[in-house]
Amino acid sequence: MTAADPVGVPEEVKRASINSYAAARTALDEVLLALPAEAPCGGWTVVEIAAHVAAWERRAATLIPSLAEGAAAPGVDVDAFNTAAAAAARSVPASETLAAYAESRANLLAALTGAPAASFGEAAMLQQVEMERGHCLEHAAELRALVVGPGEAVP
């Protein structure tokens, strides 16, 4: 079995990929939802980070069907995409952004769960899942740094 020949990819590979993303998102949820929405973090607020993650997850959920068929993910202007996500968070109440954040997780998990196991042998699919997982872990670490004092280890 290779990425070019995904026939025979076991259901366990699919489950492991989905569980890996879900665990990373849970790690992010635990710290993000414990902080005040307007707490600053880098150049953004906590709620802007939630909007940013949700926007990428919505994009990923819409790409999953084509990635499952072996298509490559289309390019995106990352800076413009991120700027638009943060701006959107500033234009609505934090509660709406946090609701969209929760919904984006559910939608991405549904898309991944609905994809055939064989598609998890496709390089583009695996890269997308890994990107979402890494993205969640990156922001979880960034936000955890807000809750520890100077010189303390980030849990």
Position 122 scores a pLDDT of: 87
Per-residue confidence band for 9, with pLDDT thresholds at 50, 70 and 90: confident
Residue 26: inside a domain: yes
Domain of residue 105, CATH code: 1.20.120.450
Distance in angstroms between the alpha carbons of the first and the last residue of the chain: 38
Position 4 scores a pLDDT of: 43
Among candidate residues 55, 43, 67, the one with its CA nearest the CA of residue 115: 67
Residue 152: inside a domain: no
Residue 138: inside a domain: yes
What is the residue range of 28's domain?
A: 11-142
Cα–Cα distance for residue pair 4/6, rounded to 1 Å:
6
Cα–Cα distance for residue pair 93/77, rounded to 1 Å:
26
Length of the chain: 155
The answer to whether residues 146 and 34 touch, using CB atoms and an 8 Å cutoff, is no
Residue 153: inside a domain: no
Residue 149: inside a domain: no
DSSP state of 118: G
Per-residue confidence band for 1, with pLDDT thresholds at 50, 70 and 90: very low
Residue 108: inside a domain: yes
Cα–Cα distance for residue pair 120/20, rounded to 1 Å:
13
What 3-state class would DSSP assign to 60?
helix
| Number of domains observed in the structure of the chain | 1
pLDDT tens digits for range 64-74? 999 999 999 99
Residue 155 is inside which H or E element, if any?
Answer: none
pLDDT tens digits for range 108-148? 999 999 999 999 988 999 999 999 999 999 999 999 988 76
Position 145 scores a pLDDT of: 87
Cα–Cα distance for residue pair 107/72, rounded to 1 Å:
20
Residue 4: inside a domain: no
Residue 2: inside a domain: no
Q: Is 70 left (phi over 0), alpha (psi -120 to 50) or beta?
A: left
Mean pLDDT of the chain: 90
